[in-house]
Amino acid sequence: MSEPAAPLHDDTARVVARLSGVRKRYGENTVLDNVDFTVRRGECVALVGPSGTGKTTVLRLLAGLETVSGGTTEITSSTSVVFQEPRLIQALRVWKNVLLDDAHRTGARTRAEAALRDVGLEDKLTSWPVSLSGGQAQRVAIARALQRNPELMLLDEPFSALDAFTRRSMQSLVSSLWARYGFGLVIVTHDLEEALLLADRIVILSQGRIHHEMRVELPRERDVTSAEFNLLKRALLSSFSLSMS
């Protein structure tokens, strides 16, 4: 589907998104203030921080759903977004939800089937959304994002409504798809353990600014019980706590 990813942390990898000195205001309220943020192909970045610090605003800027009040943006045109809710159309069967306006094109159903196979739902091709579990519905949303062959995939707290077991399964799925297809991946999350599981760079936002960045130099797949994981988790918690003070 995509060309292989460049090695992680490779500074020669293609930049798929860059915010430079970005400011975002809503009326008198400044949500982002002088934010510099770059994502490369084959890189997974987690955005964390207290509520109201601008994480989702950064994501919406990257998705082209908002415009900046100041600064510049350079973002690939090949971008897909997965939101907190699957946002499926109940009147369309699963395969048509994957393709939406492209469902009428030649070979569309075959493309939808391939995307659903990638997320383990090829048997749900002709199902109605109402028959899906929460985890299955979110897999359809991921298949919809994936079939566009993105260079940049954006996830806005996509697993927050799922139970712990399903959440871990979805984290593994996203990690495997990212490793397989090599898109740049940005995930907004309130779950610091999730950030450590998925990302190789974690960005902490505080009061509309980047407070701290942390590299996650752990092999995959990551073991949440390992001493190295918990050492990084304590360091991240410390940085997160400082961002709130």
Kindly report, residue by residue over 136-195, the tens digit of the pLDDT.
Answer: 999 999 999 999 899 999 999 989 889 999 999 999 999 999 999 999 999 999 999 999
Q: Tokens for 81, please give them.
A: 């977004």
pLDDT for the residue numbered 1 = 42
pLDDT for the residue numbered 7 = 44
CATH code of the region 15-89+150-244 = 3.40.50.300
pLDDT for the residue numbered 8 = 45
Whole-angstrom distance, CA of residue 45 vs CA of residue 201: 5
Whole-angstrom distance, CA of residue 239 vs CA of residue 234: 9
Whole-angstrom distance, CA of residue 157 vs CA of residue 222: 20
CA angle 125, 129, 130 (to 5 degrees): 135
pLDDT for the residue numbered 104 = 74
Whole-angstrom distance, CA of residue 236 vs CA of residue 130: 39
End-to-end CA distance of the chain: 45
pLDDT in tens, the chain (245 residues): 434 444 444 555 799 999 999 999 999 999 999 999 999 999 999 999 988 899 999 999 999 999 999 999 999 999 999 999 999 999 999 999 999 877 677 788 899 999 999 999 999 999 999 999 999 999 999 999 999 899 999 999 989 889 999 999 999 999 999 999 999 999 999 999 999 999 999 999 999 999 999 999 999 889 999 999 999 999 999 888 877 76
Q: What's the pTM?
A: 0.90
Helix axes 134-146, 108-118, angle to 10 degrees: 120
CA angle 81, 85, 91 (to 5 degrees): 100
Whole-angstrom distance, CA of residue 25 vs CA of residue 185: 25
Whole-angstrom distance, CA of residue 98 vs CA of residue 131: 16
Q: From the CB of residue 229, how many other CB atoms can be counted at a distance below 10 Å?
A: 17
Q: Which residue has the tokens 């919406």?
A: 60
pLDDT for the residue numbered 51 = 86
Average pLDDT, the chain: 90
Q: What is the dihedral of CA 146, 127, 138, 92, to 10 degrees?
A: 80
pLDDT for the residue numbered 12 = 59
pLDDT for the residue numbered 10 = 53
> What are the extents of the domains in the chain?
15-89+150-244
Q: Which residue has the tokens 């002709």?
A: 126
Q: Are 179 and 220 in contact (CB under 8 A)?
A: yes
Residue (of 159, 126, 160) closest to 142 by Cα position:
159
